[in-house]
Structure 1
């Protein structure tokens, strides 16, 4: 009986290894897919590698959004179509053209996790101060560089200051 079970096990493993040797051509795996990069310019201008993940995710959602599928989108009457993307403490107002390209956007993210380089700069320059609130703002206009900066409110005793900081950590 023991030899019989071992024989079945070897036979089963042999069949599995033979089944995995069959290779499929690329055309058998997937049908032909065409990728249309619609808002790569927007992504390249607004996404900052040091920005929090929440910011990058929402910006990518805005870039992937197909405004032509929106129920209120009517091609003959439209020159620009505004869409508001909102999550907790985050809001992006994006204006799309009739082809679905982003013409401009205004982005506001409140009380997010600041990048380490910015926290380090603030702590070095303002020791003993505490973070009260922060906001990350991005303004994008097609054909121009995006304007990105953080505003940070600091508190020490009864004193408050407001700082404007670029993504590299430079205090403006």
Structure 2
């Protein structure tokens, strides 16, 4: 009985998250993306393979975000999100209609950790072995980029997920058995 209830709850959560994605992202073809955005994208990321173009019903006004759920056509979108990748990283770039880069998110897997992160992990989790790691950088406009590392450590069959910033400060951790 517990399995059935748990399965139903997980299925409900999965459907809800998919519905939210559909409300706030509209997949586009390249011909539906403004020419200024396509040109800026080609200049900013010439060696990347485009995975998907999306429009999102938000507007950025002086640093504040406003959601506009009443958009009827592709011509009404002001914000465009492009997912792309190279062999070693995934990038999501958000542009406004004029081709200005609003936000960039980079994601790398299995990178060489900075010394400060390695030192902090070794001090806080002695005798734990690094199993895998990932790096994510988010930059909005001209603000300073936020860099985060997520590592999985293992010790005697137990695993722990640890999140740090680029200076090695441990932000949080989650244990898994």
TM-score (norm. length: structure 1): 0.51
Partner of 2:121, secondary structure, is: helix
Unaligned runs of 5+ in 1: 1-60
CA shift digits 1:115-146 (9 cap, x unpaired): 11111111122221110111112233336554
Pair 1:125–1:143, CA change in 2 (3 A): same
Q: CA deviation at 1:162?
A: 1.0
Let me know the Cα RMSD of the aligned residues.
3.0
Q: Which structure shows the bigger proportion of residues in helix conformation?
A: 1
CA shift digits 1:133-168 (9 cap, x unpaired): 111122333365543211111001111111110111
Pair 1:63–1:163, CA change in 2 (3 A): farther
CA shift digits 1:33-84 (9 cap, x unpaired): xxxxxxxxxxxxxxxxxxxxxxxxxxxx998348xxx9x9xxx936233222
Provide the aligned length of Structure 1 versus Structure 2: 105
Q: Which structure shows the bigger proportion of residues in strand conformation?
A: 2
Aligned to 1:111: 110
Aligned to 1:126: 125
TM-score (norm. length: structure 2): 0.50
CA shift digits 1:88-136 (9 cap, x unpaired): 3421110112332211223221111111111111112222111011111
- The structure with the largest alpha-carbon Rg is 1
1:64 to 28, 35, 44: 44
Aligned to 2:168: 169
2: CA distance, partners of 1:62 / 1:118: 34
More contact order relative to length (CA 8 Å, sep ≥ 6): 1
**Map 1:72-91 → 2, pairs under 5 A:** 77=75, 79-91=78-90
Pair 1:106–1:62, CA change in 2 (3 A): farther
Confirm or deny: 8 A CA contact 1:62 1:85 kept in the other structure: no
Unaligned runs of 5+ in 2: 1-40, 54-73, 172-177
Pair 1:162–1:133, CA change in 2 (3 A): same
Aligned to 2:97: 98
